[in-house]
Chains A and B, each alone.
Chain A
Amino acid sequence: MATIRTRSRGREMLLRLSAYLTILVALILTLFPVYWIAANSFKFDIDIFAVPPEWLPRNPTLKHYDEAFIQRPFLRYALNSFLVAAGTTAISVTFGTMAGYALARFSYPWQWRKQISFWILSTRMMPPIVSIIPLYLFFNYFDMLNTKSALIIAYTAFNLPFATWMMKSYFQDLPVELEEAAIVDGDTRWGAFLHVALPLARPGLAATAIFCLIISWNEFLLSLVITLTEQSQTLPIGIAGRVTQYKTYWGEISAAGFMACVPIVIFAFIVQKHLVRGLSLGAVKG
């Protein structure tokens, strides 16, 4: 008996050790690429090209940040990215919250609730490449190519279904009794939504907004097609523009790429409790 127990305890120790070892390896594999782009952004060109690679920047410099953000218009790109992300988030969260609430609370004739939910979700599945040609021709026709409004409209197409589904799942988690109590106390149906349900759903609202910001901030393909100049080009387009057939500006793209990642990492930590739900469009509640 005793020998069995020690053996199983030994096995448990081994399992634990291998688990912690795996976590360590996973952490290194996860963080090294991020570290590497950061490290390269602080190196002089000659050190970026060093063989063997310089694992720690020996002569750290802000040269590439100056090149990208002061001499080249990366600050402008970042501002465009932010404005577009904020615009589409405002639209998507406002209308998505109302629609999500309606789909979570109200009943509709002819199974509309199910049909509409399903249809909204399916619009989210539509690959952006499929809509670039009509969107391009459409914006061209209305002379809106190369504007931030065009980007906001295009991004709303995939952020709005996302926001609707997220908010639907948050409202479904709230007990309906509180709203009923408010109505019994004389509040209107809209008032019950505005004064009771909405404040309770605030954490979900914040998480949804942050996810919309992240999705827009990261978007590349639609921006590539719709924008032409720095007046409306977003950060990913600016970065891709410094990878040319003849030369890649390694330092510059490292600096800009790293700066593009910083807000995202901060956001990831803010929404960490909501990550599962956000990434599964509200389908899995973490």
Chain B
Amino acid sequence: MLKYKGELAKSLQPGGSLEHWTERHLRYLMLAPTVLILLVLTIFPSVYMFYAAVHRISPNPDLPWEFVGTGNFVRLISDPQFHVAVRNTAVFTIVAVALEFVLGLGLALLLDRYIRRLSFLKTVLMIPMMLPPIAVAITWKIIYEPQFGVLNEIMFQLGLPVQAWAGDVNLAMFSIIVADVWQWTPFIFLLMLAGLASLPVEPYEAAALDGASSWRQFWDLTLPFLKPVIAIALLLRVMDALRLFDLVFILTGGGPADRTKVLSLYIYQVAYRFADPGYAAAISLFVLFVTIVLSTWFMKRMRLAE
């Protein structure tokens, strides 16, 4: 492939041998800092967490860690709060991502032909997902506010009963999901538009000649062509949904009656409010395990590492 011209001449220059060595090992030298930093920042915490998970750690730093073996993991099985958190996380992830996907894909299909010339508007529609999640959370907190919030004003104008929204046992999770859908539907929309823009034209012309209905074209052509983009969009959204924290922290704090307590929030509470880092580490390992299984499955399927 690449040949070094004047290789010999360079190695004969003063200091040339170091330069030569650098050149020869460039492929490793350029990669090394990133690999080392990431090893320290990810492998170390993971190993350390295994270590923490088999101990009972006192909030008092002077007390030694007490080895409890699998004790923290056994606790997981019989901890009703943990089960609630798993269920809430699953409900949130499935419902929010499904809604975002259907809305995002639907909007992309409907608007594809019309919005291409309106790239300015496209960028405006993308704003929500770039905003700080905390700013999004307080924005929806103001909108949901039961006494003076805009949403209840609209309900009142429509002659519907006003609600406590994020404060209502049955509506709290729904309120979180709406805020998340508001923020992340544009993400699916944007990726689907990119996918649609790269579709080949010929198969559609052939299908139109064969008299295929637009519904058939969608199922037999558009959807299969979009599959790789859909896989990436879903992978990133599911990974993000599993780590939901900010919205819940501000809008509900996990309440009312633990209806919005998701795994991230529960780990945070166990570690800091209940001062039990060992048990929190055990829950974290569970989350890490689920994340690795899901993301590996997704990435293998779409051969993202190619």
Q: Which residues on A are within 8 Å of B, measured CB to CB?
A: 16, 18-20, 22-23, 26-27, 29-31, 33-34, 36-37, 40, 48-53, 91, 95-96, 98-99, 101-103, 106-108, 114, 116-123, 125-138, 140, 153-154, 156-157, 160-161, 164, 179-180, 183-184, 186, 188-190, 193, 214, 217-218, 220-221, 224-225, 235-236, 239-240, 243, 248, 250, 253-254, 257-258, 260-261, 264-265, 267-269, 272, 275-276, 279-281, 283-286
Contacts and interface: CB of A to CB of B under 8 A. Distances in A.
Contact of B305 (A18, A114, A184, A225): A114
Contact of A183 (B4, B35, B304): B4
Contacts of B191: 276, 279-280, 284
A165 B49 CA distance: 27
Nearest to A48: B148
8 contacts: A22-B110, A99-B33, A106-B30, A127-B243, A156-B41, A164-B34, A258-B135, A285-B194
A51 to B, nearest CB: 5
A125 B44 CA distance: 16
A70 to B, nearest CB: 20
A129 B38 CA distance: 17
A242 to B, nearest CB: 9
B147 interface: yes
Nearest to B48: A134
Contact of B23 (A189, A250, A260, A280): A189
Given A49-B148, A51-B147, A257 B26 contact: no
Contacts of A36: 139, 142-143, 150
A257 B264 contact: no
A260 B126 contact: no
B158 interface: no
B215 interface: no
B177 to A, nearest CB: 15
Nearest to A214: B130
Interface in B221-236: 229, 232-233, 236
A133 B249 contact: no
B203 interface: no
A180 B23 contact: no
B150 A53 contact: yes
Contact of A50 (B148, B250, B277): B148
A108 B287 CA distance: 33
Contact of B304 (A40, A48, A95, A283): A283
- Residues of B contacting A: mostly: helix
- Range, interface on chain B: 35 or more
Interface string B33-70: 11101100110111011001000000001000000000
Given A134-B48, A218-B133, A220-B245, A19 B114 contact: yes
Interface string B218-260: 0000000000010011001001001101100110000000000
Contact of B134 (A101, A137, A179, A220): A220
B209 interface: no
B288 A127 contact: yes
B190 interface: yes
A106 B272 CA distance: 46
Contacts of A235: 132
Given A50-B148, A99-B30, A126-B288, A243 B131 contact: no
A179 B52 CA distance: 49
A106 B132 CA distance: 37
Nearest to B231: A283
Nearest to B272: A225
B165 interface: no
- Residues of A contacting B: mostly: helix
Given A129-B264, A130-B49, A265 B27 contact: no
Given A95-B37, A99-B33, A120-B34, A137 B277 contact: yes
B125 A27 contact: yes
Contacts of A137: 48, 52, 277
Contact of B35 (A116, A236, A261): A116
B118 A23 contact: yes
A269 B122 CA distance: 10
Given A127-B242, A257-B135, A260-B134, A30 B127 contact: yes
Nearest to B113: A19
Interface stretch (B75-83, B94-102, B168-176, B289-297): B289-297
A138 B119 contact: no
A16 B191 CA distance: 22
A127 B285 CA distance: 11
Nearest to B197: A286
B84 interface: no
Given A183-B4, A265-B130, A129 B268 contact: yes
B17 interface: no
Interface string B158-189: 00000000000000000000000010001100
B296 A122 contact: yes
B4 A40 contact: no
Contacts of A214: 130
Nearest to B251: A243
A201 to B, nearest CB: 14
Contacts of A91: 37
B250 A243 contact: yes
Nearest to A264: B130
